[in-house]
């Protein structure tokens, strides 16, 4: 099976490409807007900006993948709110181009989406929950989902929640690394205790993508961890695991922060469908921290 991955330089993209390279049944094509910074013992790399319709079609025609896994997106929530044109190009227009290219080569599309398509009034949520985004990032990701759903191609949408992890080349941080690095530097941090998520280890999301691709799954799947936690819970657990000063972690609520984009208060996912149909098995949060720690040590 030939699998093309977009956004290969991102946290998920790197974890997914690494996983696929160890599957002897898969020939992987990693793509990104810039050259990748990690070693690929086998497979191919191609420069690809899925916001470029011509380049997208030409790349898929050249490699003719059986499956495309789209991990590329503009995910900085506040930047999406303030630069809506760039957000729409990255998360919506690009999906029109990618769907058309998949149709041209008969590729099955696995598209990664987000819990931010929901309004945060309740959770955890299953795949039947009705989307109602409260910020522009969520609106753009929901619009991208609709393009996929209304297309004639075979597709699956994998929604996820608050991804954390580490790679050798990190373009962005995430909550676990931010907490760890801040506390190691002796900084006091304020962390909200009135928002709820099911944090997702990047390796687990890569597992979900791999399973969906090899099974050529269709439909919507929720892929995340299973534990409902506030960011404050996450910060305390991280501090304790790495034996850092939890006294530097101050609980606060979201009304104390002024941000361009509103956040949904409570999301988190019910992942029974993914476990049942895909065989998805996530780490616990404690196990996920151990994975991150082993990679830092390595």
Instruction: Provide the pLDDT for residue 198.
Output: 98
107 has a pLDDT exceeding 90: yes
- CATH fold of 2-165+198-227+269-283 reads Rossmann fold (3.40.50)
DSSP for the chain reads: -EEEEE-TTSHHHHHHHHHHHT-TT-EEEEEESS--SS--SSSEEEE--TT-HHHHHHHHHHH--SEEEE------HHHHHH-HHHHHIIIIIHHHHHHHHHHHHTPEEEEEEEGGGS-SBS-SB-TTSPP--SSHHHHHHHHHHHHHHTSSS-EEEEEE--EE---SS-SS--HHHHHHHHHHTT--EEEESS-BB--EEHHHHHHHHHHHHHTT--EEEE-S-S--B-HHHHHHHHHHHTT--GGGEEEE-GGG---SS---SB--B--HHIIIII---PPPHHHHHHHHHHHHH-
Q: Dump pLDDT digits (tens) for 144-202.
A: 999 999 999 999 999 999 999 999 877 778 999 999 999 999 999 999 999 999 999 99
Instruction: Provide the pLDDT for residue 298.
Output: 72
Tell me if the pTM is above 0.95: yes
Mean pLDDT of 120-145: 98
């Amino acid at each position: 099976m030939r699998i093309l991955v977009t956004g290969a330089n991102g946290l998920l993209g790197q974890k997914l490409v690494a996983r696929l390279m160890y599957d002897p049944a898969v020939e992987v094509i990693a793509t990104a807007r810039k050259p990748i910074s990690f070693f690929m013992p086998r497979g191919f790399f191609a420069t690809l900006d899925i916001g470029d319709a011509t380049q997208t079609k030409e790349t898929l025609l050249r490699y003719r993948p059986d499956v495309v896994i789209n991990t590329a997106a503009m995910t900085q929530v506040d930047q999406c709110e303030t630069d809506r044109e760039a957000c729409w190009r990255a998360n919506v227009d690009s999906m029109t181009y990618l769907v058309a290219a998949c149709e041209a080569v008969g590729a099955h599309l696995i598209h990664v989406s987000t819990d931010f398509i929901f309004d945060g009034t309740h959770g955890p949520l299953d795949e039947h929950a009705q989307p109602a985004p409260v910020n522009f990032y969520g609106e753009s990701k929901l619009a991208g989902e609709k393009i996929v759903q209304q297309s004639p191609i075979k597709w699956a949408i994998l929604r996820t929640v608050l991804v954390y992890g580490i790679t050798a080349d990190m373009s962005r941080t995430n909550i676990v690394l931010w907490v760890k690095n801040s506390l190691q530097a002796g900084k006091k941090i304020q962390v909200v205790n009135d928002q709820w998520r099911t944090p997702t280890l990047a390796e687990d999301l890569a597992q979900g993508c791999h399973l969906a691709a090899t099974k050529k799954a269709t439909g919507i799947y929720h892929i995340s961890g299973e534990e409902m936690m506030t960011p404050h819970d996450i910060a305390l657990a991280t501090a304790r695991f790495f034996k850092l000063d939890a006294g530097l972690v101050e609980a606060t609520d979201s009304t104390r922060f002024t941000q361009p984009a509103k956040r949904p208060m409570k999301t988190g996912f019910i992942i029974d469908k993914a476990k049942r149909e895909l065989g998805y098995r996530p780490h616990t949060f404690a196990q996920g921290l151990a994975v991150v720690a082993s990679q830092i040590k390595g």
